[in-house]
Amino acid sequence: MKNFLEKYEDLMKHSSKSLPIKNSIGILTFVIGLLAGVALMGATVSLTSNTQTAAVGSTFNYYFDSVGSLNEVGSMSESSSPYWWLNSGGRLVINGNNGATIQGATSLTDPWRLLYAAANPVDTDQGAHPQNLFRLVTKSKWGNVSEEARFYIVKDHLSASSNRNASNGLLLMSRYADSGQTLYYAGIRVDGTAVIKKKYKGTYYTMAQKAVFLGTYNAPRDNKNLLPHSEWVSLKSETVTTSSGGVNVILYMKRANETSWSKLVEASDTGQYGGTAPITAAGYGGIRTDFMDVKFENYKLETI
């Protein structure tokens, strides 16, 4: 899926229907250019740009304990955070205790609402919910890695979009490359299943899937989300290249009342998925959520 700015550029190039609003969108793009300079790291929101990538060593803990916001930008090099690139979703908000997608509907004058309304109205409810397509990517690359975070679902957005479907969920990304066209991801889906998937040059392959949460989900689209709401749920994935050149991915979960990790699913990639090679090169990590308001805390990457 293209990020927002790519979609916007396509819209301006190819849609004659967009011409009446092109001038106002151009002004808004300038505004977003200024907002994209908002610094994520530091005590308060600032327009000072910091596009450097921080050295994080063999362990990276991020507690979302600063205060500020990070705006979506078109490339990693443009991101004002030394740690993160928000590829899609409009805005990451940090309140000093946790991070979050945009919560609820954007205001009628919010620049992200106006821009998404022009570029991707179907997936974002006419721009009201840019967070329906949230992709937060690390700026550091990782090889054999353990990745974890805590997630808290606040609210669902039951969009009419055909992209709101059973595959949506709370997901950890690893070996992320090609601007998200090649990666592994592992997490829990709105249909109540745990999943490990491979995306290779834009094509998805399901490596493992298992029912975890009770309930029936009427695929492909239902107005139910079987995942826990208003509860902190911890997810952890491990992505490791084997001595034979394959890749093993394992997903674990820990509920709010649990003290130890439970293994949910495990899968190995030896090249059997569409004949595509295992993703062995180091890549970026990150978080993906779909059609929900979500909070995050205690994100951690550690070399294993």
Comparing CA positions, the residue from 49, 151, 136, 43 lying closest to residue 96 is: 43
> Is pLDDT above 50 for 259?
yes
DSSP string covering 86-119: EEESSEEEEESS-EE---SPPPTT-HHHHHHHHH
Domain boundaries, the chain: 4-303
Dig out the tokens for 177 from the structure: 């490359």
Find out whether 195 and 265 touch, Cβ atoms under 8 Å.
yes
Please state which of the ranges 35-49, 176-190, 254-268 shows the lowest mean pLDDT.
Answer: 35-49
pTM of structure: 0.86
> Is pLDDT above 90 for 85?
yes
Q: Which CATH architecture has domain 4-303?
A: Sandwich (2.60)
d(CA 22, CA 285): 35
Confidence band, pLDDT 50/70/90 cuts, at residue 119:
very high
Please state, rounded to an integer, the average pLDDT across all residues of the chain: 88
> Is pLDDT above 60 for 86?
yes
Interior angle at CA 285, CA 162 and CA 146, nearest 5:
120
pLDDT at position 283:
98
> Is pLDDT above 50 for 9?
no
pLDDT, mean of residues 280-299: 98
Residue-wise pLDDT tens digits, 50-73: 568 999 999 999 999 999 999 999
In the chain, what percentage of residues exceed pLDDT 90? Answer: 83
Comparing CA positions, the residue from 227, 150, 158 lying closest to residue 195 is: 227
**N- to C-terminal Cα separation, the chain:** 30
pLDDT at position 52:
81
Give the chain's largest Cα–Cα span: 58
pLDDT, mean of residues 112-124: 98
Q: Residue 51: is it exposed, middle or buried by C-beta count within 10 angstroms (0-12/13-18/19+)?
A: middle
pLDDT at position 51:
64
> Is pLDDT above 90 for 31?
no
Listed in sequence order, the residues at least 6 apart from 11 whose beta carbon sits closer than 8 Å to its beta carbon are 18, 118, 119
pLDDT, mean of residues 268-288: 98
pLDDT, mean of residues 174-188: 97
3-state DSSP call for residue 169?
strand
pLDDT at position 90:
98
pLDDT, mean of residues 138-155: 98
Find out whether 66 and 43 touch, Cβ atoms under 8 Å.
yes
115, amino acid identity: L
